[in-house]
Structures are given as C-alpha cells and as structure tokens.
C-alpha cells in the first residue's frame, strides 16, 4: 500500500507541470508554436512513430551505439584485466590512458576524420574509443580495488590460476566493471548524438538538430523525448539488470548517477 502511494506521488509533479504547461498555452501566456502543449505533442509523437520515420532514426542511432560498444567490449575487458594484474605495464601506460580519459573524446573526432575520412567508420571508431577507454579504466580500477584479504583467503582454500580468477577476482571486480560498461554506454550515447548533429544525415541526433534548425518545435520535442527515453532505459534498465546479476554488490548513490 505504501509502495503504491509513493509510486502515485512520484507522478504528481510531472503531471502538475504538464497541466500547468497546458493551461499557460490555453491562456496564451506561452506561444503554441514555440511550446506546443503535451496534448499536441503526444499525438504528434505517435504519428511520427507510426509513420516509421522516427523508427529509422532510432534504429540508426541504436545500431551505431551497439556496434561501437560491441567492438570495444572484449578488448577493453581483456586489456583492463591485464593492466590490473601487471604493475609495470600499468605504470608505463598510465600517462597515455589518463590523458585519453581526461580528453572529451569528441575532441578526437577531427583527428579521426583526417585519417579515416568523413564517413561512417569515423563515427564508429570515435564511439568505440569512448567506450574502450572508459571500460578499460573501470576494469583496471575494479581489479585493483579487490580486497587483498579475499585473495589471500581464496589462496588459502587452495584456489589458484583460473579458479582464483573465476571464483574470487571476477566476482569482486564485476560491480566496477559493470559500472564502467554503463558509464561507457552513456558517454558513447552523448558522443554519437553530438556527432550526428553535424556530421550525419540519419540518426536521432540529426533529426533533432534539423528539427531545431527548421523551427519545428513538435519534431524537436518528439526527438528529444525519444533520446530521453533511450538515455533513461540505458541508465535505469542497466542498473536493474546489474542488481539482478550481482546481488552481492553494494551501490553508492554517487556511482548510480555518474
């Protein structure tokens, strides 16, 4: 019962904002062409979805996101694990990785464009790099943060090599690795959309940008809503999956919202 009530109250203020918006437009305080109210936006969004155009853009953005994530995943995990275990390699590559980590990856786009040309490969490569750097660093951090006493305990119970890795190291590093994947995906989504603004004809970013530039408020809000839903699904959906896969993990509120 309590649960139901909190759920209801969490809808109250968004609904309040929507109603206020609706009322202000009806009273002509807000211009309907600049801020079309929800009662016009929702049918428009449904129309766009049924017409198939928005789907095409969504599929394109999803395709780019998934492809670059998939390219980055295995190399980043392997590389991160190796860096976590080998101290010398870690020290040697630390300056390079730290710099790459600190540079917003979109700043590397011109360099990649120069080498690969202005095409789809450039976009995919830059996105892959974004995911790769984030996941490598999180994986290394995860391995480094493994409690030494856990490792000792594992060894004392006779775990070595693969078994030590599989049953001790991996379970305790997994939460950090997973957080890295989630942040990696979120940052990659930011990058894909930013690149789509200027350098692509298709994709949600391109659709949003064109809508804004051609002063089509309804299209703009529709694209914005879909991008928001995508971001929403990625953050909250992945957190849920993480809770389900790793019931042993502890989660800090800051990490949840990075």
Partner 1 sequence: MIPLAASLMMLAAWETLVHTGMLRAAFFPPPTSIARTLLDLALSGELFKHAGMTLGRLVLSVVMALIPATALGLAMGWWRGVRTAADPLVNLLFPIPSIAFFPVVIFYLGLSEWGLLLTGAITPFLLITVQAAAAIGSLERTLLEAGRNYGATGWRLFARVILPATLPNLFIGYRLAVGVGFIVIVAVEMIAAKHGLGGFLWHSWQIRIEEMYVALVLIGVLGLLVTYGLEGLARRLMPWQVELLKMKEQH
Report d(CA 128, CA 121) in Å as an integer: 10
Contact call for residues 48 and 226 (beta carbons, < 8 A):
no
C-alpha 210 chain-centroid distance: 23
Report d(CA 175, CA 190) in Å as an integer: 23
- Show the DSSP H helices in the chain as ranges: 2-26, 38-51, 53-85, 87-102, 109-116, 120-144, 148-156, 161-164, 170-199, 204-213, 217-232, 238-245, 253-256
To partner 1, the closest distance from the beta carbon of 32 in angstroms equals 14
248: contact with partner 1 by CB under 8 A: no
To partner 1, the closest distance from the beta carbon of 92 in angstroms equals 4
Q: Which of 107, 149, 244, 248 binds partner 1 (CB under 8 A)?
A: 107
To partner 1, the closest distance from the beta carbon of 170 in angstroms equals 19
By beta-carbon proximity to partner 1, the closer residue of 59 and 98 is 98
Q: Which stretch binds partner 1 (CB under 8 A): 21-29, 76-84, 165-173, 233-241?
A: 233-241
- Ranges within 170-189 binding partner 1 (CB under 8 A): 186-187, 189
Q: Is the dihedral of CA 90, 95, 101, 107 positive or negative?
A: negative
224: contact with partner 1 by CB under 8 A: yes
29: contact with partner 1 by CB under 8 A: no
151: contact with partner 1 by CB under 8 A: no
What contacts 24+ positions apart, CB below 8 Å, involve 11-19?
Answer: none
Write out the residues near partner 1 by the rule CB under 8 A: 9-14, 17, 34, 88, 91-96, 98-99, 101-104, 106-111, 113-115, 145, 186-187, 189-190, 193-194, 197-198, 205, 208-209, 211-213, 215, 217, 220-221, 224, 227-228, 230-232, 234-236, 252-255, 257-258
């Amino acid at each position: 019962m309590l649960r139901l009530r909190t759920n209801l109250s969490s809808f109250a203020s968004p609904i309040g904002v929507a109603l206020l918006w609706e009322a202000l437009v009806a009273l002509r305080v807000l211009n309907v062409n600049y801020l079309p109210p929800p009662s016009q936006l929702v049918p428009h969004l449904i129309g766009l979805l049924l017409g198939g155009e928005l789907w095409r853009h969504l599929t394109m953005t999803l395709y780019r996101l998934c492809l670059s994530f998939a390219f980055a995943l295995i190399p980043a995990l392997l590389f991160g694990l190796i860096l976590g275990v080998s101290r010398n390699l870690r020290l040697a590559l630390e300056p390079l990785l730290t710099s790459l980590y600190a540079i917003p990856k979109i700043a590397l786009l011109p360099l990649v464009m120069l080498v690969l040309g202005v095409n789809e490969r450039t976009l995919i490569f830059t996105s892959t790099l974004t995911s790769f750097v984030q996941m490598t660093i999180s994986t290394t951090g995860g391995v480094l943060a493994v409690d030494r006493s856990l490792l000792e305990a594992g060894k004392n119970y006779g775990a070595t090599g693969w078994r030590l890795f599989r049953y001790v190291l991996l379970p305790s590093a997994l939460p950090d690795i997973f957080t890295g994947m989630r942040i990696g995906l979120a940052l990659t989504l930011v990058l894909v959309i930013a690149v789509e603004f200027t350098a692509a004809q298709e994709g949600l970013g391109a659709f949003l940008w064109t809508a804004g530039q051609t002063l089509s408020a309804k299209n703009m809000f529709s694209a914005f809503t879909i991008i928001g839903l995508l971001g929403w699904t990625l953050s909250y959906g992945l957190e849920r999956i993480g809770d389900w896969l790793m019931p042993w993990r502890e989660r800090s509120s800051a990490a949840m919202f990075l």
